[in-house]
């Protein structure tokens, strides 16, 4: 078991005091131009100003308007007064012995004044660095093996909060261009963060519009410029939105399959009762852009005695027949109170071998950051847990 290297305590709080100025981060280009009009930027200048501010925020990583030296002093003062470029506040940061970093983030107050918390994870590997981001606080779905699914309070994240995670990660990794230029150890690509996966808390396709806006911003060539080929959206199988996601969001697709019969999958991913396996796979076959170069990934969590038999592996091969697909076998990551156990390693190997022989690349995902509860499906914000148990206590009383 890996050991915990570093945990920064939650108290005293590390986050900044509430900043109630609305953030310009997460607005589309059109929205940004429009909002500049509201603070008096004449129509003729709006497009140019929008492009300047966009460049400062997303290319240079500016955190204040004072830095934007090519914008007139008077406009900078107005902007600083009215808007922010605020990131989520960091409550705690943990680093696993394998280098995985997890941040507990506190969001700005929502319309009810509540400050929710979410988690974000960065996983460095030899040839890449993957940031796992959340799309919701909690999740409305209740997959029985997933810790997030037990969280009671749920709301969609705004585009600002989704983009804010990527911005904050770049701050923390110190990978804005001016930082990389003076970093003798900088990787050739000029970035540590090379991939983004929407595999944190929440079901991204239940927050379609905000996820789309955020991914458009993250991939915009005049900003963070992360290609959509390097972004993967993982869904538990919201069938009616899958093809639309391919057309409108255009990232890579990962499907949380986890079961090879409707009977098993109904128990693991209850959404299957609404959108059974046959419908789900039909949508995957029709996913725009799916090809050998851009294969759909199927995620399959290995649960001891539940979905890990040779018969399951053979059924899986049959289900995927003729589809450009890869399978990601995920050893189950346990969490307090779960009834499931991870399959034994030799069982996982036999399962992977059957898939490999059938021509499906099936890497077993090495669990990362388990020692800090940062691995797949372990995310859940502490404050939510406390609140949920308090609610239960109050209900009992």
Q: Which of 85, 123, 139, 283 is the binder for ligand SF4 (CB under 6 A)? A: 139
**Judged by CB, which is closer to ligand SF4: 202, or 259?**
202
Tell me the two tokens of residue 64.
Answer: 């204040």
Q: Which does 333 bind (CB under 5 to 8 A by kind): ligand SF4, ligand SAH, none?
A: ligand SAH
The yes or no reply on residue 203 touching ligand SF4 (CB under 6 A) is yes
Q: In whole angstroms, what separates CA 353 from the centre of its chain?
A: 30
Q: Which does 89 bind (CB under 5 to 8 A by kind): ligand SAH, ligand SF4, none?
A: none
| First vs last C-alpha separation in the chain | 40
- With CB under 6 A, what is the number of residues at the site for ligand SF4? 11
Nearest-angstrom CA–CA distance, 100 and 215: 23
Whether 376 is catalytic: yes
Comparison of 229 and 365: residue with beta carbon closer to ligand SAH: 365
> Would you tell me which residues interact with ligand SAH (CB under 6 A)?
143, 145-147, 199, 202-203, 234-236, 256, 299, 301, 330, 332-333, 376-377
Shortest distance (Å) from residue 383 CB to ligand SF4: 18
Q: Which of 90, 146, 233, 342 binds ligand SF4 (CB under 6 A)?
A: 146
Cβ proximity to ligand SAH: between 84 and 165 the closer is 165
Q: Are 171 and 150 in contact (CB under 8 A)?
A: no
- For the question of residue 175 being annotated catalytic, the response is no
Separation CA 140–CA 23 (nearest Å): 27
Catalytic residue among 132, 139, 146, 376: 376
Q: Of ligand SAH, ligand SF4, none, which one does residue 24 interact with (CB within 5 to 8 Å by kind)?
A: none
List active site positions: 119, 376
């Amino acid at each position: 078991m890996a050991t915990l290297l570093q945990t920064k305590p939650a108290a005293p709080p590390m986050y900044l005091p509430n900043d109630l100025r609305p953030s310009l981060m997460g607005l589309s280009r059109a929205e940004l131009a429009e909002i500049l009009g509201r603070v008096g930027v004449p129509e003729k200048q709006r497009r140019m100003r929008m492009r300047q501010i966009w460049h400062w925020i997303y290319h240079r990583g500016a955190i204040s308007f004072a830095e934007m030296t090519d914008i007139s002093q008077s406009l900078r003062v107005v902007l600083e007064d009215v808007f922010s470029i605020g990131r989520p506040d960091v409550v705690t940061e943990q680093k696993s012995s394998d280098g995985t970093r997890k941040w507990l983030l506190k969001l700005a107050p929502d319309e009810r004044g509540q400050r929710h918390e979410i988690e974000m994870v960065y996983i460095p590997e030899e040839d890449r660095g993957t940031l796992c981001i959340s799309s919701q606080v909690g999740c409305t779905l209740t997959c029985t093996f997933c810790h997030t699914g037990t969280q009671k309070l749920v709301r969609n994240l705004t585009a600002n909060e989704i983009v804010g995670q990527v911005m904050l990660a770049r701050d923390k990794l110190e990978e804005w261009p001016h930082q990389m230029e003076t970093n003798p150890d900088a990787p050739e690509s000029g970035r540590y963060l090379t991939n983004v996966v929407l595999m944190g808390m929440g079901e991204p396709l239940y927050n379609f519009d905000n996820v789309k806006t955020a991914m458009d911003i993250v991939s915009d060539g005049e900003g963070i410029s992360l290609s959509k080929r390097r972004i993967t959206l993982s869904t538990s199988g919201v069938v009616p939105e899958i093809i639309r996601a391919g057309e409108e969001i255009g990232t890579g697709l990962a499907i949380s399959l986890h079961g090879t019969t409707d009977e098993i999958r109904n128990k693991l991913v209850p959404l299957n009762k609404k959108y059974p396996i046959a419908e789900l796979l039909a949508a995957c076959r029709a996913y725009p852009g799916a090809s050998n170069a851009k294969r759909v990934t199927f995620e399959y969590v290995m649960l001891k005695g539940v979905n890990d038999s040779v018969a399951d592996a053979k059924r899986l091969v049959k289900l995927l027949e003729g589809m450009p697909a890869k399978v990601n076998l995920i050893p189950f990551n346990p969490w307090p109170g779960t009834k499931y156990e991870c399959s034994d390693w030799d069982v996982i190997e036999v399962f992977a071998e059957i898939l490999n022989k059938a021509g499906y690349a099936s890497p077993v995902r090495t669990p990362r950051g388990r020692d800090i509860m940062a691995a797949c499906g372990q995310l859940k914000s502490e404050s939510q847990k406390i609140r949920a148990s308090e609610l239960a206590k109050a209900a009992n009383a």
